[in-house]
Amino acid sequence: MRQAGRYLPEFREIRSKNPNFIDLCLNENLSSEITVQPLKRFNFDAAIIFSDILLLPYALGQPVNFKKDFGPELGEINISKLSKISENDYIKKLQPVYNSLKITKMKKELQDKDLIGFVGAPWTILVYMLHKKSPKDGNFKKHLSDKIFVNELLEIIIKFLKIHIDNQIKSGATIIQIFDSWAGLLNEEDLENYVYKPTNNLVNFIKSKKIPSICFPKDIKNYKKYVALVKPNVVSIDYNVNPIEIANTIDITVQGGLNPNLLLGNKEELKRNTLKYLDIFKDKPYIFNLGHGVLPNTDPSMVDYLVKLIKNY
């Protein structure tokens, strides 16, 4: 969960010299270096490629910009242009990501370790493309009224997500994680069309490539139903969910759960909460992780403490 990033001084140094975030993601040497930065510090079991879910709309020709203290800002969509984009042009725009995976795969830090590639889930990409910014202001529903347009756009998104997944796997990704950051926005009646079916479509595609998938449907109300319908190999849980309920109802591998805010507190509280997760899942297949990304003001020594605590459990 955002292993690399703003909490690491070595990342901040690179970032200060590279103000354009998209350009940084598309700098194959720097993105590879950033990917292994946390592995040089901590004994993690896998690396996740340094990239962004919004490279998909960028590669489809929608302007994407990251504004300081605001987040992503997207430009207008031209559906007739979108439907004419060729697979080759799209791959060409994202080729630096695939090169970065190849470079990273060869690094000594990755010996005997998994390299995770990732995409945004179709719904999360759709809501960003339509709303043109983070939908946390809650006013995204107005964009869903033109069902024909929305479903056409969703089909385009799914098509190009598959191409992106395929090329990440060909370039060395050994697992694909699907981030559905905004799954929790939808009512139950909308989940079938926007979350369950489209994400299951991607999961089946990943399965056909003979590698595992991890799905993170943040803030979804019913994880059991999600797992039954989407069928990922691993489900990643957020920190608002009750881990005991998950352990009792989910029969696939579970990942995550710990609140990243605990890394901002004291070691005793961090230890108590970490052991709670480890104890709850001790007889289950479980990948320890956070329930959301590492926060920028986290002290790296707390991450180090956490990793050692888990390794010594």
> Which pLDDT score, from 0 to 100, does residue 80 have?
85
> Which pLDDT score, from 0 to 100, does residue 137 have?
77
Bridge partners, 114 (sequence order): 46
DSSP character at residue 119: E
Residue 1 forms part of a structural domain: no
> Which residues span the domain enclosing 77?
9-311
| CA–CA dist 252, 235 (Å, integer) | 7
| CA–CA dist 108, 101 (Å, integer) | 14
Residue 2 forms part of a structural domain: no
> Which pLDDT score, from 0 to 100, does residue 83 have?
84
- Full pLDDT tens readout for the chain, 313 residues: 788 999 999 999 999 999 999 999 999 999 999 999 999 999 899 999 999 999 999 999 999 999 887 889 999 998 888 888 999 999 999 999 999 999 999 999 999 999 999 999 999 999 999 999 999 877 888 999 999 999 999 999 999 999 999 999 999 999 999 999 999 999 999 999 999 999 999 999 999 999 999 999 999 999 999 999 999 999 999 999 999 999 999 999 999 999 999 999 999 999 999 999 999 999 999 999 999 999 999 999 999 999 999 999 9
Q: Report the domain count for the chain.
A: 1
- Torsion over CA: 145, 147, 149, 155 (sign): positive
Residue 3 forms part of a structural domain: no
Residue 4 forms part of a structural domain: no
The CATH number of residue 300's host domain is 3.20.20.210
Tokens of 100: 């970065």
Q: Report whether 176 contacts 116 (CB < 8 A).
A: yes
Residue 246 forms part of a structural domain: yes
